[in-house]
Structure 1
Amino acid sequence: MVVELISVGTEILLGNIVNTNAAYLAEKCALLGCSLYHQTVVGDNEERMEEAIRQAIERADIVILTGGLGPTKDDLTKEVTAKVFGRKLYMDEHSRTRIRDYFEKIKSKKVTENNWKQALVPEGAIVIDNLNGTAPGLILEDKERGKAAILIPGPPNEMKPMFEHDIAPYLNKKQPEGIYSHMVKVCGIGESRAETMVADLMDAQTNPTLAPYAKTGEVHFRVTARACSEEAAEKLMGPMIEEMKKRFGDAVYTTEENVTLEESVIRLLEEKKMTVTTAESCTGGKLSGRLLNVSGASGVYNEGYITYANASKEKILGVKHETLETYGAVSEQTAAEMALGAAKAAGADAALSVTGIAGPGGGTAEKPVGLVYIGCAVNGEVTVREYRFTGNREKNRDYAVARAITLLREELLKRA
């Protein structure tokens, strides 16, 4: 089944916003076994939008359009698609009620008249409730030609849940066989080495298939099976997943799509009934922020510290003045004392420390940009790792955060 994507919006066309929707939908459609040959971005112009839809519907079995379903005059996606399919619009009372209820829920004093435009739907369309906004999704089918257009709201926080909940199952039913997958997520092993470790599995793949995806400080492997049922797919994927667990061992932190590295570590702390804190210099709160993105993190994380200045390292974390004088702020010794000091100050069982030179300035021949020391203290025992990253400032900080979380996980796993 061939799917084509059309992203609607002048703001996307002119580069005012990044088109993350297309990247998300392309990956999801590929995982559903759909073929994708074209993507189009079109501005809020009726004539050009109609031309784009007509071309797409000739090339593809299903066209997915995102954006242009709002209440303003330049939101034309629904109207133009209805024109292409020869459908008139009518007021869908169910959608109208949901819009009214939405505004009552957010305690809006009045629903402006243009919002009712979103309840107008093409004749014969399948209406998809928007659980996170006002504009419903729509599916228009031309059964004679075997074609369909799927219209989804543009905001990612509305588009993604609607796709997962309603559109993906619809697309899966259109396939002769369903596509099912698991993500084997690995940390602490570089991309090239990780791929080498499963090269034979990738060479021999037929069904299921195995595909690597490099992430910052991680490697994800998607195991995908085509089968007539989820149960049959699980049987196909099971042996490959078990073989990967055998090869990667504790480096595999999950086989679930939506579980992140930081979530796996927070759950590990919960399981061990331990608490954690952080002491950051060059990452400036990124490490604590990533940990605290996990729901329930407050149960294991009470407080943390950002200590850029040497004086702060001494005052808050108890780093010795002579350590800073002798070895410098960016050193193994300072990272160790930062971690131990943070654990003591917070009364935590574990602590992570990060000190380094993120760049672009500040480096020397002895201590270049990208040099980072990460310390991990668990129950009074400290481990420090040295890293030399080669990205820009933002990338170096991101890699340091990923390596710190990985180090904490490794140290926690060592303890029963």
Structure 2
Amino acid sequence: MRAEIVTIGDEILIGQIVDTNSAFLASELRKTGIAVHQISSVQDERAHILTALKEAESRADLIIITGGLGPTRDDITKRVLCEYFDDKLIEDPDVLGHIEHLFSTYITTPISDLNRRQALVPSKAEVLKNAYGTAPGMWMEGSNAIFVSLPGVPFEMKHLFMDQVRPRILSSFTLPVLLQRTLITYGLGESAIAERIEDWEDDLPGHMKLAYLPNLGRVRLRLSISGTDLEALEKELNSRTASLKSRISDILFGEEDGEALEETLKKSFTSRKMTLATAESFTGGRIASQITSVPGASAYFKGSIVSYATAVKTDVLRIPEELVRQHSVVSEQVAKAMAEQVRTLMNTDFAIATTGNAGPDKGDSDSPIGRVFIGISGPDGAFASEFTMGNHRDRIVQKSVHKAMELMQQEILKF
């Protein structure tokens, strides 16, 4: 089964926003066994949208549209869908009641006729109730494909897809089994890994694929297999994965079940009933931000001290001034002391600390741009490791955030 994603909105084409909706939908469709063969972004313009829908239907069995469902004049998706399906708009009383409830309960601005017009939907559409917004989703069946129209607001779109669209897809189509395993490596680039496992990769059968996913100091190896016999596929995937692991055991960090490292950290800490704190200098709180982006992080993460200035390190974290003078603020000794001190202050089982020079200036240290130290403190003691992260400020920071969480995951797995 083939799918296409069509995103509607001038704001995407002028670079005002990043199209995260397509990435989410492509990932979730892949998990159901549906291949996304094309992603298109089109203007809020009638002829352009009509052409995109016609072309998509000629190629795909499922077309998912996001955007253009708002109350303003430039939101024309529903009108264009009516033209495409030779249909008309009708008022859905349930949607209108929901919109009025949202305004009376959560929104201080008085409801307008523009807001009420969002209750107008194509008569041939099955309405998908949007619990978190005023724009409903729609499911429409064309001659050769199913069309699903979803709001462009990411959290509304995600809720509708997971809660209503995905279950309908699974019940409407017979889909192939798609299994995946992702191994996380660090310390070796993708070309070097590919050379090491070249004969192993050449031996893969046609229904199995290996993808290299490099990102900021690590390479993920995603092994995918598809077919109809679940038991046989699982057996073959386990065997091939074990064989691959034996080839890369020295650079293997672990497995990823399609989840971000902050999700993995949460599981590791909560299952062990252990706690974590951070003390961040040049990373400016990004480690804490990434950790707390996961719901339920409060079960293990106690807090962070963003000690960006040297004075905060000495006054708040109580790093001895003599230690800073002797070794520099960007040093193994200071990173280690920061981790130990924040762990004591927050009374946690573990702590992460970062200090480094992300540029463009050297700041309070003579360390070259790109030199960073990451400290870890835990029940077995503390250590700090030095890394060179390049010369691009944003990449230095984000690579260091990833590396800090990788080091922490390694340590927590020892308990």
Please state if 1:147 is matched with 2:145.
yes
CA contact (8 A) 2:330 2:365 kept: no
When residues 133 and 362 of structure 1 are mapped into structure 2, their CA distance, relative to the original with a 3 A threshold, is same
Aligned to 1:82: 82
Aligned to 1:263: 263
Aligned to 2:178: 180
Aligned to 1:302, the other structure's residue is in SS state: strand
The structural deviation recorded for 1:9 is 1.4
Q: Which moved more, 1:246-255 or 1:33-42?
A: 246-255
The structural deviation recorded for 1:355 is 0.8
Aligned to 1:211: 211
Please state if 1:62 is matched with 2:50.
no
Aligned to 2:45: 45
Q: What is the root-mean-square deviation of aligned Cα atoms in Å?
A: 3.3
CA contact (8 A) 2:187 2:251 kept: no
When residues 42 and 134 of structure 1 are mapped into structure 2, their CA distance, relative to the original with a 3 A threshold, is same
- How high is the TM-score relative to the length of structure 2? 0.85
Q: Deviations over 1:281-330 (max 9, x none)?
A: 11111122222333333333334322233333222333333322222111
Aligned to 2:373: 373
Aligned to 2:161: 163
Q: What is the distance in 1 between the residues matched to 2:28 and 2:405?
A: 28
The residue identity in structure 1 corresponding to 2:159 is P
Aligned to 1:344: 344
CA contact (8 A) 1:184 1:241 kept: no
Aligned to 1:337, the other structure's residue is in SS state: helix
Q: Which moved more, 1:232-241 or 1:264-273?
A: 232-241
Q: What is the distance in 2 between the residues matched to 1:368 and 1:222?
A: 36
Aligned to 2:6: 6
The structural deviation recorded for 1:176 is 5.0
Q: What is the distance in 1 between the residues matched to 2:12 and 2:213?
A: 26
The structural deviation recorded for 1:82 is 1.7
The residue identity in structure 1 corresponding to 2:392 is N
When residues 156 and 109 of structure 1 are mapped into structure 2, their CA distance, relative to the original with a 3 A threshold, is closer
Q: Deviations over 1:185-207 (max 9, x none)?
A: 52645452665666555431433
The structural deviation recorded for 1:365 is 12
Q: Deviations over 1:143-170 (max 9, x none)?
A: xx42332211111111223233333454
The structural deviation recorded for 1:387 is 0.5
Q: Deviations over 1:332-357 (max 9, x none)?
A: 12212222222233333322111111
Aligned to 1:304, the other structure's residue is in SS state: strand
Q: What is the distance in 1 between the residues matched to 2:218 and 2:168?
A: 32
Q: What is the distance in 1 between the residues matched to 2:90 and 2:229?
A: 38
CA contact (8 A) 1:370 1:388 kept: yes
Aligned residues: 412
Please state if 1:404 is matched with 2:376.
no
When residues 27 and 380 of structure 1 are mapped into structure 2, their CA distance, relative to the original with a 3 A threshold, is closer
CA contact (8 A) 2:71 2:117 kept: yes
When residues 9 and 94 of structure 1 are mapped into structure 2, their CA distance, relative to the original with a 3 A threshold, is same
Q: What is the distance in 2 between the residues matched to 1:161 and 1:251?
A: 35
The residue identity in structure 1 corresponding to 2:144 is G
Q: What is the distance in 2 between the residues matched to 1:167 and 1:6?
A: 16
Q: What is the distance in 2 between the residues matched to 1:229 and 1:252?
A: 30
The residue identity in structure 1 corresponding to 2:149 is L
Question: For residues 54-133 of structure 1, what are the structure 2 equivalents within 5 Å?
Answer: 54-106=54-106, 110-133=110-133
Aligned to 1:74, the other structure's residue is in SS state: coil
Q: What is the distance in 2 between the residues matched to 1:335 and 1:55?
A: 57
CA contact (8 A) 1:208 1:236 kept: no
Q: What is the distance in 1 between the residues matched to 2:39 and 2:25?
A: 10
CA contact (8 A) 2:331 2:373 kept: yes
Q: Deviations over 1:209-255 (max 9, x none)?
A: 33232334544444433344766654554444555566559955554
The structural deviation recorded for 1:409 is 1.9
Aligned to 1:367, the other structure's residue is in SS state: coil
Q: What is the distance in 2 between the residues matched to 1:250 and 1:38?
A: 34
The residue identity in structure 2 corresponding to 1:85 is F
CA contact (8 A) 2:354 2:375 kept: yes
CA contact (8 A) 1:336 1:353 kept: yes
CA contact (8 A) 1:177 1:227 kept: no
Q: Deviations over 1:85-128 (max 9, x none)?
A: 21222222333333334434426575322223222222332322
The residue identity in structure 2 corresponding to 1:12 is I
Q: What is the distance in 1 between the residues matched to 2:137 and 2:236?
A: 34
CA contact (8 A) 2:369 2:391 kept: no
The structural deviation recorded for 1:11 is 1.9
The structural deviation recorded for 1:385 is 0.9
When residues 406 and 93 of structure 1 are mapped into structure 2, their CA distance, relative to the original with a 3 A threshold, is same
Unaligned runs of 5+ in 2: none
The residue identity in structure 2 corresponding to 1:180 is L
CA contact (8 A) 1:177 1:226 kept: no
User: Identity percentage over the alignment?
Assistant: 31
Q: What is the distance in 2 between the residues matched to 1:100 and 1:207?
A: 51
Aligned to 2:272: 272
Q: Which moved more, 1:152-161 or 1:112-121?
A: 112-121
Q: Which moved more, 1:66-75 or 1:96-105?
A: 96-105
CA contact (8 A) 1:90 1:122 kept: yes
